[in-house]
Structure formats: structure tokens, C-alpha cells
Structure 1
Amino acid sequence: MPAATRAGQVLQKAGQVAEVIQGFLYVSKFLDEAQKKHAEDIIVECVKEAHFKVEEDLFGKGKTLPATDCKKPPSVEKKLAPTWAQHLGKLKHAMAFECIQQRLAEKFPNNFSIEPRYRREEFTNDLMLTDRWVGSKQPDVVLHFTRNATRIQCIYELKFPCGNEQSNPWSGEVQQQLALYKALGGECEPVIVTPQLEISRQP
């Protein structure tokens, strides 16, 4: 084989390797600000759609549950929880998760997880995924480093106020919950997402 031909093949292979490395470096990262904003818009859209779709299916178009009924047992055949507030919350979370999974998978398939469960390794304190409930934390939606859910970028907790009640989303209980999520680490502060206020950051 002529030397020029061998040299050409070596250069071609080197170029292919360089392209693979460059591609890996390109995709293995956190989302940039524009991508993160796009992901957040998708999460908000799904939360709103889930809220209004569940309300419409149960109560009719443009109608909602009176706040006075939120603590009453749900008047449906298949009860998911003892109160309307909890029942609606479960339905809306399930629908929002399905929507988020489908739409984020189209744009950022390797940079998000839905309901990952985390705990700290006992001896090293390293963050790890687990199926152990005791001592673990399970945020709703996590943006993270490519193919690495333990390198957290941002945490989003979905909240669905019941019916037409107007409550402060940043209750003491919610603040405590997100403080625990903050302790998991991340590039940004954990936030809550509601159909009314969209992305809500702690005041």
C-alpha cells in the first residue's frame, strides 16, 4: 500500500475519533440557559394542561371544585385518596408526568428524570440513586448532567392547589421540603411549579 494512501487512512481515522470525542463532549453537559428555559416552558405547559384537563373531565368545561369541598371524600367510584385535594393531586401529577416524559424526551432525552429517588451514601456522603424509602428524597422532576441523574442541575416540584382555593404555595411545609431538596445539591435553587403561578421561586 502506498505511503500516501496509508497516511490518508490514518488521518481519516484520526478525524473520525476526533469527531466522536467532540460529539461526546458536546452532548455530555448540563443544559445551557436557552435549553433550560425551553425545558421549563415544557414543564409549565404540562402542569397547566394536566390541571385544566382533569378539572374539565371531572367537573365540566370552565368549572372547578369549590374550595369548601377540598377536604371532603371524592365522590367518584375509584378513589385514589381520602380527600378531593389529594385525589386531584394524584390525577394531575400522573397526567403532568406523562406529558413531561413525552415532550422532554423529544428534546433532551438524556438530561432529565421524573421522580428519581436519592440518598447519600453512608460513608462517602456521595449522592446516589436508590429504591430505599427510608432516608431518601424523591423530587418530582430533575434536570441533570447528560446520562447522570446524580449530577443535578435543577429540581422542580409540582404543586396543584385544590379547586378554586387561593393558598400560598410557599407554606412552611413546602419550604421545608425544598430545603431538603436543596441539600441534594444542584446548579440552581429548587422551585415549585403551579398552574396558576408557573415557575415560583422562594421569596
Structure 2
Amino acid sequence: MFTRLVGLNVLALAVLVAQCACVTTASRGTRGYYGYSNAPVGIDSPSATCRNSLSACVALYGKEMASTTAVLKVVIDETTRKSIEEELKKCADLARSEVLLRYPKQFKGPAPDAGECKQETKVKSRRVTWAMRLGIEMHEVARNCAEAALDKLRPGGFSLEQRYRPDMETGEKELVSAEEEQALEESGNGGELKGTLKPDVVIHEGDPLQALAVYDFKFPCVSSDSVPEWPPYPDGHPFAGFSQGEMYQNFIAILVARILPRLGVVRG
């Protein structure tokens, strides 16, 4: 099963890379490009099954999914993908420019250097580094920009900052509502959110549990042409041994990418 899954992952990767004018990284880890999952099927159609669980897709529809056309159909069509990614790239660039312009005299240059990123600043009553502050503010601008763009491009077919609670034992997942999240945080039980996933943008056809693609905005504090890796989960975390990107691929969608200012779409 694992061999067949890796083969399908490589096939899907080859097709996506061939059709995308995008930045890629060399590091893919040891679980194959798209990772793997033991999620149960419980879905009728091939496309729905494959969006929910790649391993279940291969188990049930291995022969059907052997063609590149079928692989792409369960991800997202090219025209839609390109339009979405173009808008998200614009949002990332806008967010970095707009936020840095708020602090014209704070840094030696137009953007902070490594030392300035580590310096502390006060936000309300909390002290954080400039890296954290700028990242939070840039994410807010990018989120508002993405919402405005996707409302026109894909009304009803996307979610922003939707939280998921995956079950590492069964491979199933459930949605965590914004109301539940707020209630946990306000009651002092925010630690219960530790084993959850919250991507910036999820593309779907009306149901976030049947996602087509996941995008995360990444805003490195220091300007660089190098691509940051997906952050790994530390020892003791429910997702230890996996990276953030692997968890997205294992439980939310096959197509996962980061959106960075200037660098654009980064897959893998």
C-alpha cells in the first residue's frame, strides 16, 4: 500500500510541477510528497473519497487514479487554481508592503534585519518580537485581502482560518467552529486547541471537510530569496514527527502550498 501511495504522490507531483510556474523546494521528507493517512472512506464518489483521504483513494480507486487526468480532477481544475493563486500572491505582496509602510522610521532600512526582527516591541500590554508583530499584522491584511478577492472569485467555495480537529488514531477529522474556539480561549481551556489545524485559506465546493486545496501565508521577517521550511511539530506535541504541511496533506487536502511575498506559490 505504501509503495502504491508514493507512486501516486510522485505522479501527482510531476503533473502539478509541469503545469505550474511556481517556486518549489527540494525537501520532501521521508513519507512521500503528499504524506499519508489512515482516514476511513465513508464517501460514495471517487473524487470525494480522494479529497478526504489519499490512502483510502488509492485503496479503492487505484486503477482509476492511475492517470494524470484523474489525479488533477480530485485536486482542483487548472483555471480555478491559477486564478486563486494569482489573487493570493497579490495579497501576500500587498500585506508586506502595507505593514512595512506603517513603520517608516522604525528600522534602518525599508525592512528589518535579523537583529531588528528579534528586538521586542509592545502591543497593548504584551511584549513580542518585531518578527511576531509584523507577522500578525501582515496575516491580518492578507486575510482581509483574500476574503475580498475570493468573495468575487469563489463565493461560498472557500473558508478562512477554519480550524480542524484530526484524530490521529482513526484518521478522521471534524470542524471546530469559531464559537467553540472562542469559548475555549475565554474559559481558559485554550490548551484543548493544541491538537488542531488552522490553515489560512481552504478551497472547497461548499463543505470545508471536502477540501480541494490549502494555502498558508508565510511572512519571513527578514527579506530573503530562500524558502522557509514548513515548521515541524516539537516533541510532546500531538503531531510530533510531522510538519505542518504534512498534517495539512494528511488530513485536509492533497494540494497544499505556501504563499510568500515576492516568491509567490511554494509547493511541498
TM over 0.5: yes
**Could you list the runs of 5+ residues in structure 2 that have no partner in the other structure?**
1-73, 182-191, 234-241
- Cα distance per residue 1:73-121 (max 9 Å; x no partner): 12x6647751000000000000000010011111101111111001236
Name the residue aligned to 2:203: 143
Post-superposition shift, 1:67?
A: 2.3
Paired-residue identity, %:
28
After alignment, is 97-106 or 171-180 more displaced? 171-180
After alignment, is 119-128 or 109-118 more displaced? 119-128
- Which of residues 247, 250, 268 in structure 2 aligns to 1:180? 247
Change (3 A) 1:140 1:78: same
TM-score by length of 2: 0.56
Q: How does 1:1-203 map to 2 (within 5 A)?
A: 32-59=77-104, 63-74=110-121, 78=124, 82-120=128-166, 125-130=171-176, 131=181, 133-144=193-204, 146-164=205-223, 168-170=227-229, 173=232, 176-188=243-255, 190-202=256-268
Q: Is the 8 A contact 2:76 2:213 kept in 1?
A: no
Q: Is the 8 A contact 1:129 1:150 kept in 2?
A: yes
- Secondary structure in 2 aligned to 1:156? strand
Aligned residues: 170
Name the residue aligned to 1:12: none
Higher relative contact order structure (alpha carbons within 8 Å, sequence separation ≥ 6): 2
Change (3 A) 1:179 1:44: same
Matching residue's letter, 1:180: M
TM-score by length of 1: 0.73
Name the residue aligned to 2:43: none
What is the distance in 2 between the residues matched to 1:121 and 1:160? 29
Runs (4+) off by over 4 Å: 76-81, 121-125
What is the distance in 2 between the residues matched to 1:77 and 1:127? 35
Q: Is the 8 A contact 1:44 1:199 kept in 2?
A: yes
What is the distance in 2 between the residues matched to 1:80 and 1:193? 28
Q: Is the 8 A contact 1:30 1:111 kept in 2?
A: no
- Cα distance per residue 1:110-168 (max 9 Å; x no partner): 11111100123699643221146142111111111x21011011111111011435654
What is the distance in 1 between the residues matched to 2:222 and 2:127? 16
Q: Is the 8 A contact 1:67 1:164 kept in 2?
A: no
- RMSD of the alignment, in Å? 2.7
What is the distance in 1 between the residues matched to 2:224 and 2:125? 21
Matching residue's letter, 1:179: E
What is the distance in 2 between the residues matched to 1:142 and 1:46? 15
- Secondary structure in 2 aligned to 1:149? coil
Change (3 A) 1:85 1:166: farther
Larger Rg: 1
Name the residue aligned to 1:20: none
